[in-house]
Chain A
Amino acid sequence: MRILLFILRKEFIQIFRDRMMLPMLLLMPLMQLLILPFAADMDVRHLKIIIVDNDHSPVSKSLISKFTASDLFEIYAISGSYNEALKLIETDKADIILQIPHGFERNLIREGSEKVAITADAINGVKAGLGTSYLNAIIQNFNQDIALEWSNATSLTPPLDVRYSFWYNPYLRYKNFIVPAILVLLVTVISGFVSALNIVSEKEKGTIEQINVTPIKKWEFIIGKVLPFWLIGIFDFSLGLLIMYYVYGIQIVGSLSTLYLFAIVYITGILGFGLLISTVSHTQQQSMFVAFFFIMIFILMSGMFTNVESMPPWAHTISSLIPVTHFMHAVRAIVLKGSVFLDLWVDMVYILCFDVVAIAAAVINYHKTV
């Protein structure tokens, strides 16, 4: 026990003395939480639309006025020809084209129906999908208005009255979705990868030899290395929760103790993973790239931005094996929905399994010899 205290003291002195370490552990989370949510905004609005009006009739004009009123669309140009509009899409100036055909008003009244064409730049799938849906909704709305206005309204069956409600995030704020995820990412990076770098730097400098020849036991060394980062991880997590509340106004609906229980179990596992990375790399550059590789995959597969359920089955399986997925889901559910532990026990089981595997692999892989 006494030996453990000595190692801990050494680690803390090293961390507090290192000019790079402390800013990295304290300033980086602050910066990330303050900057990333503004950049990582996948909300779809201000779509640049070009309207090709070949009709110039009162009906087409009043349809266009619907778009000036909406803040989802920004009319980039009202152009005369489709080819001109297409050119603007090609050069990335606009996102979507609405084409109103010649004789639009006349055909609507005489034939009872007419087509308008929507052409979207679909390279960005989210934008194109949601954009055309918005556009459709606006047109349908307009359609109901004019149908009621022009025909004798009484003979018509009114459309179904569909009401929406958006639970847990009624104003559809994208920040409510992304800030908890960034908090999770941050805890992962700090406790997992900074700890890996720390051990590898000891290898690079050769000071690990000196520790290896002392009577320090394997578990004492591992705990001594891991505990400071464990504390820092919990500290950063708490700091993040404060920022979430005071800067972004996101209130934690669920119980704080459940949240911390998940955080404690998760950070333990990730530290084990960091230890594992450090046992297989020789230089800081290598562990940096390995860490970068895993962070990339974690970010993409954990459902941070996209819905996990829409993935193909094999990807879904991989995603459910990644602990980040479960911690992210748990944090979001507790913070936004107020889920209780019983709702999330499956996630807890996954994280615990990961803990056991990562720590066991790290301990087996770590040798006191070079």
Chain B
Amino acid sequence: MAFLHKEFLHVFRDKRTLLVMFGLPIAQILIFGFALTNEVKNARLLIVSPVQDTESKKLIEKIDASSYFTVTHIVPTRQNLEHYFRNNEAQCALILPDDFSASGVSPSQVQIVADATDPNFAKTVVFYLSAILGEFQQQSQPAQSIPMAIKTEVRMLYNPSLMGAMNFVPGVIALIMMIVCTTLTSISIVREKETGTMETLLVSPLKPFLLIISKAIPYTVLSLVNLSFILLLSNLVLDVPIRGSILLLLFECLLYIIACLALGLMISNIASSQAVAMMISMAGILLPTLLLTGFLFPLENMPWIFQWLSNVVPARWFFIIVKSIMLKGVGLEDVWLETTVLIGMTVFLLAVSLKRFKIRLE
């Protein structure tokens, strides 16, 4: 108990680190939730319209009314078009011909130019703009309907408004717990080594196993508090639902926390100084967690070697589990494979790190 008390004091005394530990999730959740949208809104559109007749005016009005585009310039010729793109006053352009008409017998040729510096943005813009054009054409010739029209009915599962936050919240959980449990734990053990207090602890009547436990408990508590904090914040502020069972979610989180703690213990076995421990956990643990989990970048686009490597990152499996339970509302029967992998990893990490934990210092 006394040891536990000591460890808690260590954790709560470093105010700055604590501040970052809680500030980071808040900032991330807020940014992910509100600032990062993958939707296209208010894209700056330039329209080249040589003739200003009622039909082209109607089209321009229709485009401007949609939330996707803001018509910033209407110019008569396509001269200087590049100038508008270069100083970023326009992100896309619609070029209408001299004799624009949507209802005539011969089809008008219109041209869409998109700034493809950001390819996904450009693609989305082109899709939206052509959809608006198609709709405009149908409206201007109501009498004639296209035979054999295949209509589509789109249903967006789990996230109808395409919020970016949905994908990120489980990722943030995985990342924060990794930082708290792995990085902080390893640094705290190595610090005892560095300052020489480890020796004192090892000669005390406390069993090494209990020593590790008392090191681990404060960080477990800290990450559980952090977890509930993230869940509350994302639920209340962002309306990210928790559809599955909370108990199951907690169980999986505990499993992941144990895996992270074991990883931290392993790092502390290898590292000789705080700086080294920090480097290992940043470069060896945090970076792969950020890159290879699939919450920032889609795994399926990566070269096969990265995809293969991602299999050994615990966060990757944990991310799928949390996503499925929280957002899809599935039960254990659908995530048993991922859970088994995670259990296997945890047991392996624990076994290796406990076996290598030296009870004597050289």
Which A residues form the contact surface with B (CB < 8 A)? 20, 36, 38-46, 89-92, 108-109, 112-130, 132-133, 135-137, 139-140, 142-143, 146-147, 150-151, 156-170, 172-174, 176-177, 281, 284-286, 288-290, 292-293, 296-297, 300-301, 305-307, 309-312, 315, 318-319, 329, 332-333, 336-340, 342-344
Contact = CB atoms under 8 A, between A and B. Distances in A.
A203 B158 CA distance: 51
B144 interface: yes
A157 B150 contact: no
Given A163-B109, A174-B120, 8 more contacts: A108-B148, A136-B131, A169-B116, A285-B274, A289-B20, A297-B31, A309-B41, A311-B36
Interface residues of B, number: 104
Contact of A172 (B119, B154, B164): B119
B116 A168 contact: yes
Contacts of A137: 127, 130
B233 interface: no
Given A156-B146, A297-B27, A123 B166 contact: yes
B359 to A, nearest CB: 26
A119 to B, nearest CB: 5
B137 A159 contact: yes
B360 interface: no
B86 A340 contact: yes
B165 to A, nearest CB: 9
B275 interface: yes
A124 B295 CA distance: 9
Contact of A125 (B17, B155, B167, B323): B167
A172 B123 contact: yes
Nearest to A336: B117
Interface of B: 14, 16-17, 20-21, 23-24, 27-28, 31-32, 34-44, 85-88, 91, 102-124, 126-128, 130-131, 133-134, 137, 141, 144-160, 162-164, 166-167, 187, 274-275, 278-279, 282, 291-292, 296-298, 300-303, 306, 320, 323-324, 327-328, 330, 334
Nearest to B138: A159
Given A161-B108, A310-B39, A288 B278 contact: yes
- Which 4 A-B residue pairings sit nearest by Cβ, starting from the closest? A315-B35, A343-B87, A166-B116, A125-B162
Contact of B35 (A156, A163, A319): A319
B297 A39 contact: yes
Nearest to B328: A90
* Interface-central residue, A20, A169, A170, by most chain B CB under 10 Å: A169
Given A122-B159, A161-B107, A116 B151 contact: yes
B297 A40 contact: yes
B271 to A, nearest CB: 13
Nearest to A310: B41
Contacts of B153: 115-118
* Interface-central residue, A122, A140, A284, A319, by most chain B CB under 10 Å: A122
B157 A125 contact: no
Contacts of A128: 156, 159, 162
A310 to B, nearest CB: 4
Given A122-B157, A169-B116, A306-B37, A337 B301 contact: no
A343 B150 contact: no
21 contacts: A39-B306, A42-B298, A44-B298, A109-B148, A114-B151, A116-B151, A128-B162, A135-B152, A140-B150, A143-B150, A150-B148, A157-B107, A159-B107, A160-B110, A162-B112, A162-B130, A166-B126, A169-B117, A286-B16, A307-B118, A333-B88
A109 B147 CA distance: 8
A263 to B, nearest CB: 19
A160 to B, nearest CB: 5
A67 to B, nearest CB: 14
